[in-house]
Structure 1
Amino acid sequence: MQEAIIRGAEFDRLDMDRVPQFLTRLVTRLCVDEARHNAIVKKMASHPRLIPHSADDLVDVVCDNAEAQWLAARLEAFSPKDRKLVLMLTSGFTRKEIAEELGTTPQGTHSALYRIRKKMVERYG
């Protein structure tokens, strides 16, 4: 688009009487294109098939639950907070729900689970 404007400005037989009409039409088209684009983005953002699924992947949830049950059987030596986190996971709570209950973030919950896993590997190999 810019190239066309530059070429037009450099055209030696440019009719200066028609430039205001050309620029008005150009700006109008750009505004219409922008409005269409924004309408499509807005429509897509509210379309039910395009809304992202839960951050918790089903495979991760199943693996986390199985691992949490294994951990729960070996939690005697862990802190009350760690035990609560693992027991909530075995009960089917999502990371988001656990985070809300414990007053952390889902990433904080993920990190806490990682630390618990690491402790378990150190103890049980």
Structure 2
Amino acid sequence: MFHDGEEAARMDGDRQAVYERERPRLLAVAFRILGSDADAQDAVQEAWLRYARADPAEIRNVPAWLTTVVTRLCLDSLRRTREYPREEPARAAAGDGPEEVALLASELTDAFAVVLDELTPPQRVALVLHDAFGIPFDEIAHVLDTTPGSAKKLASRARGRVRRPAEPPGADPGEARRVVGAFLRAAREGDLDGLVRLLDPAVTRTADPQALPPGAAQRVGGARAVIAETRALRATAGRARPATIDGRPGIAVRSGRDLEAALVFRIAAGRIVHYDVIADPRRLALLRIED
């Protein structure tokens, strides 16, 4: 039997283990809602402090509880620091079928500039939680303190505001595949000159925390910073293959039959302007991949 002090230490250890397991997913959620590494870190740290103070007997589902706390902290942060348009009348946006939802989910990260300006905080939360992480609308409704029907309408309105073509008008899918294939070869071989030719000078890279070493930024910008990041790809190059991911040019990294990570690219004028490294299991499960 544990003494009081031993029992408290065991419970603290259990909480720490749970938090460390859930932290990468929480950072991925917070980053995609807030668009900022620092703000995401702050939200997840505050959630940990609240979890450490909470009564475990009152928490039925720890991952869901932590997701709710982090998301509400993100909502509070958005409402404090930014001006947003007023809510529109409830209406469904055209084209909310599974294919359209999947396509938009792959656009969420490089659409941050649009999202920040054009979505209200509830719209942004509903869109990110459902389309990027597959969280059901009844859970999202609990987070937003609304009904599942209203949460669904919020996500629908958000899609209507940020939906855009996967590639610029007139983009050649064959050219995009060529660029991605060349990127993978250059990364495998450590060909820095080749990478410079393929990357737009203002290229950005975003990534789930599961794909990064501890403390690494989820968002980096500029060709030099992004080229430095490609060193990690060399370690997995043997398992990486070009693929079409939700209709976008990409790279799939597999371990046997299991999908380990996916890189989704945005190409313009023959150069890579953005790519997102997806490694969160919930996001990976939503991808449609054609090798």
The answer to whether the superposition gives a TM-score over 0.5 is no
TM-score (norm 1): 0.40
Asked which structure has the greater CA Rg, the reply is 1
TM-score (norm 2): 0.19
